[in-house]
Chains A and B, each alone.
Chain A
Amino acid sequence: MIATVIALPALSALLLLTLGKRSNKFGPGLAIAASTGSFLIGLWQFLQMAARPEEERAVITTVYEWLAVPAAGFKVNFALQLDQLSISFVLLITFVGTLIHIYSLGYMSHDENKRKFFAYLNLFVAAMLLLVLADNYLLLYVGWEGVGLASYLLIGFWQHKPTAAVAAKKAFVANRVGDFGLSLAIMTMFIVFGSVSFSDVNQGISGAPAWVSLTLGLLLLLAACGKSAQFPLQSWLLDAMEGPTPVSALIHAATMVTAGVYLIVRSASIFNASEIAQTAVVIIGAISLLMGAIIGAAKDDIKKSLAGSTMSQIGYMVLAAGLGPIGYVFAILHLITHGFFKAVMFLGAGSVMHATNDNVDMRRYGGLSKVMIFTTITFFIGYLAIIGIPPFAGFYSKDHIIEAALSHSWWAGAAVLFGAGLTAFYMTRMVVMTFVSKPRWEDDVHPHESPLSMTLPMIVLSIGAASLGIILTNDHMFEHWLEPVTGFVEPEPPFSIQTITIITLSVVAVGVLAAIWQYRKIAKVAPKKVSLVVAAARKDLYGDVMNEALLMRPGQGLTRLLNIFDKSVVDGFVNGIGSFTGGVSARLRRSETGYVRSYAMSIVLGTAILVVALLIVGL
């Protein structure tokens, strides 16, 4: 039954891609129907699961035996694991996914390749569902690669734009670095445990030596860094904004980029076994959350600013996931609430772009609240949620992460608190520049509210962004829900929870006020004279420069070296044999003079030698 959740969008994608232009008419409708169907089945499964007693909730369904090499003791089933963690993802992916399908109907209405776009979206939904439902690492890897492919196809959807094509390639390459870590981790698991299923690895890890959990932890962290755009593999996410905005909302904010967090939480037993790996996760999360926030605060491109924010928020989740059982639940909670409020803001950004002739420069927005009432309200709800104003969703998830981080160490706590202030700053900046300040529109821009197909998903998502926090944390519901899968330990921060909330809210207030003060006047063109930090942040904190210096140049050097080696040693050896043979034969053929008498001479001499030799050996 659960397999149909994946099968529906997969079949729809297959159909739309194979039928080609013939399915142009019904394509988008079919894609939306498939996604909706997936959501309904997921919802039904969820209700059934919730009705069962706690210990019977996790169910593994083996669809068929997928790979089996009896000689090597290798066996992997195409098996789907439906438990409290995966169903949470299924609901998030299909619900947000369906809404974004609907939104795309309006957003992509003028695009002639609409059908292909919807096919790719369905492909993505199917792959992402496979990723979260797999019961072993190898099947997860299939989904992992599938979402990478869908991401590549969708970032480069407007492939006639060179920037989009390059961005797609960049995302693909950066992701491959992470995938490399995941594949190495899977191989290590097979060598050490003889199996790649979650249950076998979870059982085996307790008895395994310390280096196993450390190696696996670091390799999985590398994988998570690639997929979730965490430091040092973060640079692709900002360029990925070249893709259509619904893609940015669905793939590069709500779902795919959070796959790394899912991977870490799913591999909780591995990380629990290695404190060093956990600390590495926390450090990576802290660096990414600060980097993302700083980048987000300096970009004038609304989508890139949101992308920096996504990186920062995923940094929160990764950090929480690195805290161990205190944080897993809150990482997932923040992931879900983030899925809603970030999606609504991306869709809002798309709506704004739709209204302003695809302009992304916030310096040419301003005052849009007067003309786009729905977009403004929904965006504002998303804004309140992300900066963590109670009772909006982000308050609950982020506050819990701050508590957990503070009970881990002072530096993790300081990072998340500072990050909260930065978040408040850049989000306020975005709202002020886009909706509040005086209009700075281009002359030919006549902003208008977007059609219902675009505003409706935004409204629905904003309801989620407003209410999910209260609903999920009411009576510790979400903690109890996920506890059987991830384990849960109540955080014990050094201060009382009320104190932490007050500190957090005052930090947020400082961020908000600083942004309002800083952006009371906005120039239409970005000022040239800026501080070093802003200049660095505008260049993505030199992410590309770093990649170039650390990876590209050494890589080029290596290929050059290999080229020289190939030309001199390998080619030299082969060519040497050739010219040696040629030289020797050029000399040898000189004996063929054409004179019969010299041939006769050689026969006579040869015979004589033969006779003498025979006489010597005494025949």
Chain B
Amino acid sequence: MNPSAYLVLSGIIFSIGALGVLLRRNAIVAFMSVELMLNAANLAFVTGSRVWGQLDGQTTAFFVMVVAAAEVVVGLAIILTIFRTRNSASVDEASLLRW
């Protein structure tokens, strides 16, 4: 099996996710972009697992999913709270914690 197509796809998805985090101001969208990056990583793990015929990559992917789920719970809660206080989900507006 030739993994290069999978890895290229993984790279493309990761880049889209990274660009989304860097460019979009909406917290929800940025959040979704983070999920994209995680899933791109998952894809690379699974590909590796498949290439070498070992389960390590699969397990790691599961771990990533579990962590991502937990992160979503906490992250969404934070975004909600910010939205409630400021009536906006823009990440640029929540910039009080600075020099």
Contacts and interface: CB of A to CB of B under 8 A. Distances in A.
Interface of A: 589-590, 592-597, 600-601, 604
A594 B18 contact: no
Contacts of B30: 596-597
A593 B30 CA distance: 18
Nearest to B96: A594
Interface string B72-98: 000000000000000000011011111
- Taking each of B25, B91, B97, B98, which has the highest tally of chain A beta carbons within 10 Å of its own beta carbon? B98
Contact of A592 (B91, B92, B94, B98): B98
A589 B23 CA distance: 24
A594 B98 contact: yes
Contact of A597 (B21, B96, B97, B99): B21
B22 interface: yes
Given A590-B99, A592-B99, A594-B97, A604 B18 contact: yes
Contact of B22 (A589, A594, A597): A597
A600 B92 CA distance: 12
Contacts of B95: 593-596
Give chain A's interface secondary structure class: helix
A593 B98 contact: yes
A595 B27 CA distance: 12
B98 A597 contact: no
Contact of A604 (B22, B91, B97): B22
A589 B99 CA distance: 6
Interface in B1-33: 18, 21-23, 25, 30
B22 A601 contact: yes
Nearest to A607: B18
A596 B94 CA distance: 8
A526 B21 CA distance: 103
Q: Which 7 A-B pairs have the closest CB atoms?
A: A594-B98, A594-B95, A589-B99, A596-B91, A592-B99, A600-B21, A595-B95
Contacts of B21: 597, 600
Contacts, number: 33
Given A600-B21, A600-B22, A604-B18, A595 B99 contact: no
Contacts of B97: 594
A589 B97 CA distance: 12
A608 to B, nearest CB: 10
Contacts of A597: 21-23, 25, 30, 91-92
A612 to B, nearest CB: 15
DSSP class of B's interface residues: helix, strand, loop or mixed? loop
Nearest to B95: A594
A597 B25 CA distance: 8
28 contacts: A589-B99, A590-B99, A592-B98, A592-B99, A593-B95, A593-B98, A593-B99, A594-B95, A594-B96, A594-B98, A594-B99, A595-B91, A595-B95, A595-B98, A596-B30, A596-B91, A596-B92, A596-B94, A596-B95, A597-B23, A597-B25, A597-B30, A597-B91, A597-B92, A600-B21, A600-B22, A604-B18, A604-B22
Given A595-B91, A600-B21, 11 more contacts: A590-B99, A592-B98, A593-B99, A594-B96, A594-B97, A595-B92, A595-B95, A596-B30, A597-B22, A597-B25, A600-B22
Contacts of A600: 21-22
A485 to B, nearest CB: 84
A599 to B, nearest CB: 10
A260 to B, nearest CB: 71
A251 B97 CA distance: 78
Nearest to A595: B95
Contacts of B98: 592-595
B15 to A, nearest CB: 10
Contacts of A604: 18, 22
A606 to B, nearest CB: 13
Nearest to A601: B22
Nearest to B21: A600
Nearest to A592: B99
A604 B34 CA distance: 12
B20 to A, nearest CB: 10
Contacts of B25: 597
Contacts of A601: 22
Contacts of A596: 30, 91-92, 94-95
Of the candidates B18, B25, B30, the one having the most CB atoms from chain A within 10 angstroms of its own CB is B18
Nearest to B18: A604
A118 to B, nearest CB: 74
A393 B95 CA distance: 102
A594 B99 CA distance: 8
Nearest to A589: B99
A592 B92 CA distance: 13
B71 to A, nearest CB: 15
Contacts of B94: 596
A596 B96 CA distance: 11
A600 B21 CA distance: 7
**Looking at B22, B30, B92, B99, which has the most chain A CB atoms within 10 Å of its CB?**
B99
Contacts of A589: 99
Interface string B23-57: 10100001000000000000000000000000000
Contacts of B91: 595-597
A47 B22 CA distance: 109
A584 to B, nearest CB: 14
Contacts of B23: 597
Contacts of B96: 594
A381 B89 CA distance: 114
A186 B11 CA distance: 85
A330 B89 CA distance: 109
